[in-house]
Amino acid sequence: MLFFKTIEKDFRQQNPNHKRPIGFDHWWQDTDGARLLGVIKDVDLFVYLCNAKRYPTNLDNTHILPNPPKRLPPQYTVEVKFVKNDIEIDEFRNEIKKRYKSTFTVENMLGAMRYNSRHIRVDSCDRKDYESILNSGFIGIQGQLF
């Protein structure tokens, strides 16, 4: 409870329309008692907690080492299909991050590699950026950036 009380003010500033109480839906400690694990159904809180910089470093004389999720839920994920293989993933990632500051991850989707194209997953922390990516014209036919 102390953890959520500590982050609540910043969370409410980041999510001003969020009115529900924040916390884990389910939680438990692992067998050695050193780690606390939790399940969160609240998408806004989940996205907020994906940023390790938002965790306090110490809480009630306990050192905290966060291990946040590496991917965002589908509500914040765009799948760019049929990106030509001659476009490097780093080039694609840099272009996306330059245009959308809230980009969380950009990665090739395993199992979606073809002879001449592939699919790329783009996670965005900001709902507005997510919708902007969906509605943008810069990712054209065949996933071309340029």
User: Above 60 in pLDDT, residue 85?
Assistant: yes
More confident residue, 145 or 31: 31
User: Above 60 in pLDDT, residue 137?
Assistant: no
Q: What CATH code is assigned to 74-143?
A: 3.30.70
Which of the four pLDDT bands, split at 50, 70 and 90, describes residue 138? low
Token pair for residue 116? 């001449």
Which of the four pLDDT bands, split at 50, 70 and 90, describes residue 139? low
Instruction: Determine the average pLDDT of the residues in 28-39.
Output: 82
Instruction: Determine the average pLDDT of the residues in 120-132.
Output: 88
What pTM, to 2 d.p., does this model score? 0.75
Residue type, 46: F
Instruction: Determine the average pLDDT of the residues in 113-118.
Output: 84
3-state secondary structure of 26: strand
Instruction: Determine the average pLDDT of the residues in 11-23.
Output: 90
First to last CA, the chain: 48
Domain positions in the chain are 2-63, 74-143
What is the DSSP code string of 67-104? ---SS--GGGEEEEEEEETTS-HHHHHHHHHHH-TTEE
Per-residue buried b or exposed e for 17-42, using 16+ beta carbons within 10 Å of the residue's own CB? eeeeebebeeeeeeeeeeeeeeebeb
Residue percentage of the chain with pLDDT more than 70: 93
